Structure 1
Amino acid sequence: MRIENTGIDDVVVDLKPLDHITGKNAFIRAGQWDYERVTYDYKIESDEKNITYYVRIQGYALEGDVDKGNAVLKLLTPLLGKHYYPHGIEYGEEESFPKNVVERAKTLLTKVGEELNPHHK
């Protein structure tokens, strides 16, 4: 599920402030990057059996290199996904999400978007 109008869509930002802001808001980049792309995930636990939700922020390098830490990234529209153990995460629009999970994701992403605002390129 795409989560629009959070202040993140199409933002252009340097990697260092992006890493800092996403990290302090509990998003994990870990090994989810290559030289040209980054992915940050925020895990939302669920009471549903074998279900976990993930809020995902993705971006790609317009210039520089993620590995060298000097990338300038353009962010994509954030996603909300549902992980079905053991099959994987589904981000499709046909998925259903509890209202409280959607609201939590929107609140979190809006906060990240506001914190990124002074760092736009």
Structure 2
Amino acid sequence: MKKFNDWLAEKITIAFYSMWAFYVFFIYGLIPLKFPFYEDKILYWSNFVQLIALPAIGVGAVVLAKKHEKTNQEIYEAQEKRAQEIHDSVMEELKLAKEDRQELTALVKYLHEKLERNGS
């Protein structure tokens, strides 16, 4: 039941937070100008919609916030994983570069010694 309630609250929140809802309520609010004798019925239904919509929008906002928080957490974890992969790759390259430098240092030392022996 909670899953259904969360789903419904989310749908109601999204519907009420739309420009279409604005247009509908704007036109609805203008009806008493054309038909003033319906003003009491329109006021009643306006209050009814507010009483129903307010808690649903509140719950929907919480549900949407949790949904976005979960999505943001998944994005953060994926970025952390990718950052760790990049770090590991860079560290491996650094290790290989250090090994190459040690080999080159040994080669330069060997050549320097060989030149000193041949030059003396």
Q: Same fold (TM over 0.5)?
A: no
**Structure showing the higher strand proportion among its residues:** 1
**Structure showing the higher helix proportion among its residues:** 2
TM-score category (smaller protein): under 0.3
**What is the TM-score of this pair, normalised by structure 2?**
0.27
**What is the TM-score of this pair, normalised by structure 1?**
0.27
